[in-house]
């Protein structure tokens, strides 16, 4: 079954656990609280997992979507400007 297909590199969760298969990722998403699971990033992650598992879609797309959803609340610092601002 395609749901037991393994990710090329496991996805490491913030608590240290690993998502090894598509099924692991799907179970993780469905176990989230409803408000979290209904967020757009998690919906995209689930759709790309379905695409990868059931239609042989690109694994990398599913991996990126899950990682992006995991890090959706992470602060993304902007690099400091290289040129001084003109007045």
Residue 11 lies in a domain: yes
Domain residues for the domain of 39 are 2-70
What is the structure's pLDDT at 3? 75
Strand-pair partners of 11 = 19
pLDDT per residue rounded down to tens, the chain (87 residues): 577 888 889 999 989 999 999 999 999 999 999 999 999 999 999 999 999 999 988 999 999 999 999 988 777 677 777 777 676
| Angle, alpha carbons 62-1-25 (nearest 5°) | 35
Question: Cα(82)–Cα(40) distance, rounded to whole angstroms?
Answer: 34
Question: Cα(69)–Cα(80) distance, rounded to whole angstroms?
Answer: 26
What is the structure's pLDDT at 31? 96
The total of structural domains in the chain comes to 1
With helix as H, strand as E and coil as C, how does 6-59 read?
EEEEEEECCCCCEEEEHHHHHHHHHHCCHHHHCCHHHHHHHHHHHHHHHHCCCH
Question: Cα(87)–Cα(10) distance, rounded to whole angstroms?
Answer: 49
pTM for the full predicted model: 0.79
Q: How far is CA 33 from the centre of its chain?
A: 16
Residue 86 lies in a domain: no
Residue 49 lies in a domain: yes
Residue 19 lies in a domain: yes
């Amino acid at each position: 079954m395609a749901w037991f297909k393994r990710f090329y590199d496991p996805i490491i969760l913030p608590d240290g656990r690993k998502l090894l298969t598509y099924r692991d990722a799907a179970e993780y998403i469905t176990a989230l609280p409803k408000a979290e699971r209904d967020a757009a990033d998690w919906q995209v992650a689930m759709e790309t997992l379905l695409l990868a598992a059931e239609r042989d879609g690109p694994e990398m797309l599913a991996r990126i979507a899950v990682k992006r959803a995991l890090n959706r609340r992470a602060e993304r610092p902007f690099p400091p400007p290289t040129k001084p601002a003109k007045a």
